[in-house]
Structure 1
Amino acid sequence: MPESKKRRKVADKEREYAKRAQNPEEDLKKQSPSWWAPLMVGLAIVGLIVVVTAYVTNGAFPIPGLPNGNINLFIGIGLMLIGFLMTMGWK
């Protein structure tokens, strides 16, 4: 009698869990480096600080002398975006 797809899927998952229990070093290799999370959070916070500073100073700071005041906003949003995109690679 053929096995159902669901039973086969459950049996495959059980084999995978048993394999992981036998070789925990592989799980450690799949983890992100220890600097990943602090960098990710740091970029998001620095980006937020840049955006708030640019709004409060009407685009004159944190980087003075840029031709357009909105460039400071783009820099801050870019930093936050990089931090957010890093969350997808965090394990």
Structure 2
Amino acid sequence: MPESKTRRKNRKPHDGDHSQTYDKPLPKWYKPVMFGLMILGLVWIMVYYISQTVLPIPDIGGWNIVIGFGVAMIGFFMTTGWR
């Protein structure tokens, strides 16, 4: 049987290699903001339904759902950078 090539274990990053930039720790505010946005979006939608479309902003109607999902999605997108 043919043998596969061995991998090099001691690979040095090139100058243009960005793999080392991901090792930096996150700021302390990142996780509370991330979870806060997800919870805020959920609460926004819950308030809209519980108040029977009167709150949080009565003049925009169904766009309250879009705002709630948008805020929550920003929080979910932040999870991609969470370590």
Inter-partner Cα distance in structure 1 for 2:53 and 2:72 = 17
Question: Taking structure 1 as reference, are residues 28 and 78 closer, same or farther at Cα in structure 2, changes over 3 Å only?
Answer: closer
Q: Which has the higher helix share?
A: 1
Counterpart for residue 55 of structure 2:
61
Measured after TM superposition, the shift of residue 32 of structure 1 is 1.4
Residue 33 (structure 2) aligned to one of 28, 33, 39: 39
- CA root-mean-square deviation: 2.3
Inter-partner Cα distance in structure 1 for 2:67 and 2:27 = 26
Question: Taking structure 1 as reference, are residues 29 and 71 closer, same or farther at Cα in structure 2, changes over 3 Å only?
Answer: same
Equivalent runs, 1:13-52 vs 2, <5 Å: 15=10, 30-52=24-46
Normalising to structure 1: TM-score of the pair?
Answer: 0.66
Gaps of 5+ in 1: 17-25
Normalising to structure 2: TM-score of the pair?
Answer: 0.72
How many positions carry a matched residue from both structures? Answer: 73
User: Taking every aligned residue pair, what percent have the same amino acid on both sides?
Assistant: 41
Inter-partner Cα distance in structure 2 for 1:39 and 1:80 = 11
The one of the two structures with greater contact order (alpha-carbon pairs below 8 A, sep at least 6) is 2
Gaps of 5+ in 2: 12-19
